Amino acid sequence: MRPVILHHIASLASLAGPAGYRRSADMRDVSPLHDASIVIVDGHIHWVGRSTELDRATAPDAEELDCTGMTVLPGFVDCHTHAMFAGSRHDEFAMRASGRSYQDIAEAGGGILSTVRATRTASKRELKRTTARRLDAMMEHGTTTVEVKSGYGLSETDELKMLEALHELRQEHLATVVPTFLGAHAVPPEFAGNPGGYLDLLITRLLPYAARKGLSDTCDVFCESGYFSVEQTRRLLTTARSLGLKVRLHADQLNQIGASALGVELGAISVDHLECIDAAGIARLRGSSTAGVLLPGASFFLGGPYAPARDLIDQGIPVAIATNFNPGSCMSFSMPLMMTIACTQMRMSPEEALTASTINAAAVLGLADRVGSIEVGKAADIIVLDAPSYRSVAYEFGVNLVRRVIKNGVLLEFP
C-alpha cells in the first residue's frame, strides 16, 4: 500500500486525547493545529505534526496531497442508523406536511410497518445492493464508520436476512460497518395485540441465534409507549446481556416512560434520542457508564422537541450525535448537517458537535482505540474538506464540503 502525505493543512482538528469518552469541557478541546501535516503508512497514521517538521524520508514514494486552504478531520462515525431498508416513504412525508403526526400515520398502517412490508419483499441481494450504495454516499459525505440496525424484518426469516446482509457488507464494503440487532423495533402485524408472543420469539430463537453466529454483538430496543414497555424491554435486554451482548435503547423519544432509567439500570452502552428526558433522568445518567446519543435530524424532521444537549454536556454525561438515518424520521445521512442542527437548535458548540460526531461516537461503538481521532497508530480514516476551519463544517450547511476521503489509508475516488 502506497504511503500518503497530507501537507500544509490549514486547519486540522485531530481530536487527540484519551481513547474514550470526552465529557464536559473536554468535549470542547478538538486539539486544533494549523499548517499541519500527516504521514500515513500501511493504512495507519504514522506521524502528525507541523508542516515545517515533516520528514518525507519516513514515507518514501508517498502520494502527496497539498491541503493548502483545506480542513482535515477524522472520518465521521455515525453510531446510530437504520440505513438498511427497502421502499420510500415520501407519501408519508407529504401527509405530515399537511398536518398528520408521525403517530397518526403509524396508526393508519404507515410508519415503521410500511418499511417492514417493503423490506420483507426485498431479497437479501437487493438489500445489500441498496445499502452498499447508501454506504458509498455516506463515505462521500465523510462518514467512514457506520452502525446499522436490523429491525425492518420483524420475523425470523426477515430479521436474519437483514443481519446476514449486514454481516456480508461488513466484510465486503470499505466502510466499517457495525451491525446492531433491533428485532424489537416494533410489534409485527402477526403479533398485533400480543407483543409478549413476539418477545418470546426474539428471546428463545432470534437473539440466541444472532449471538451464536456472531451476527451482532449489540441488542437495541425501541422502548416507547405503543412499542415495547419498560418491563418488556428489561426482559429482552436481560436475556441479551446473559448471551454476552452489549445493550442500547431507543429511549425517551416520544414519551417519558422510564426508558433511559432502565438503560442506566442495565448498564447500557447508550440511551439514544432523549428528546423527553427529564431532570431526574439526567441525574441518573450522571455518574453512570451510559452515554447519550442524540439524533438532532429526527427532531428537525419531525418538528421537535430537541434533546437537552446543553444540560447533558454540562452535567458531564458523554454525548454523541448520529443521523438516525431512516426512511421515516430522518432521510439524511449527512453528519455535517446533524452538527449544524446540534449547534443551531441544541446550543452545542462546533467543537462539541465535532467531538460528538467522531471520538465520542467511536467510543459508543467500542472503537475509540482505532478510529475517531487522528493519532499515531490509529487507522487512517481521514477526510479533507474545502473549508478554512473545522468550524466551517457545521457553519456551511446544506453543501458537501468533503473533497477527499481516506479509509484505512486508501485514497478513495468518487465518480
Interface ranges with Zn ion (CB under 5 A)? 324
* Strands 291-294 and 270-273, sheet pairing: parallel
Residue 269 near residue 248, CB atoms below 8 Å: yes
CB of 330 to Zn ion, least distance (A): 8
Q: Nearer Cβ to Zn ion, position 37 or 324? A: 324
Residue 236 near residue 203, CB atoms below 8 Å: yes
Nearest-angstrom CA–CA distance, 141 and 284: 36
Residue 353 near residue 342, CB atoms below 8 Å: yes
Q: Nearer Cβ to Zn ion, position 138 or 382? A: 138
Q: Nearer Cβ to Zn ion, position 22 or 149? A: 149
CB of 223 to Zn ion, least distance (A): 12
- Cα–Cα distances in Å, from 323 out to 137, 146, 333? 14, 10, 6
Grid cell listed for 47: 506521524
- Smallest Cα–Cα separation from 350: which of 27, 21, 17? 27
> Residues 71, 39, 136, 294: what is their CA dihedral angle, to the nearest 10 degrees?
-60
Q: Nearer Cβ to Zn ion, position 59 or 83? A: 83
CB of 82 to Zn ion, least distance (A): 6
CB of 182 to Zn ion, least distance (A): 8
Q: Environment class of residue 377 by beta-carbon count within 10 Å: exposed (0-12), middle (13-18) or buried (19+)? A: exposed
Residue with the closest Cβ to Zn ion? 324
Q: Nearer Cβ to Zn ion, position 51 or 324? A: 324
CB of 115 to Zn ion, least distance (A): 12
The single residue listed with the C-alpha cell 468550524 is 391
Q: Nearer Cβ to Zn ion, position 308 or 328? A: 328
The widest CA-to-CA distance across the chain, in whole angstroms, is 68
CB of 113 to Zn ion, least distance (A): 15
Nearest-angstrom CA–CA distance, 80 and 23: 20
Task: Tell me, rounded to whole angstroms, the distance of Cα 251 from its chain centroid.
Answer: 15
Q: Nearer Cβ to Zn ion, position 324 or 360? A: 324
CB of 353 to Zn ion, least distance (A): 19
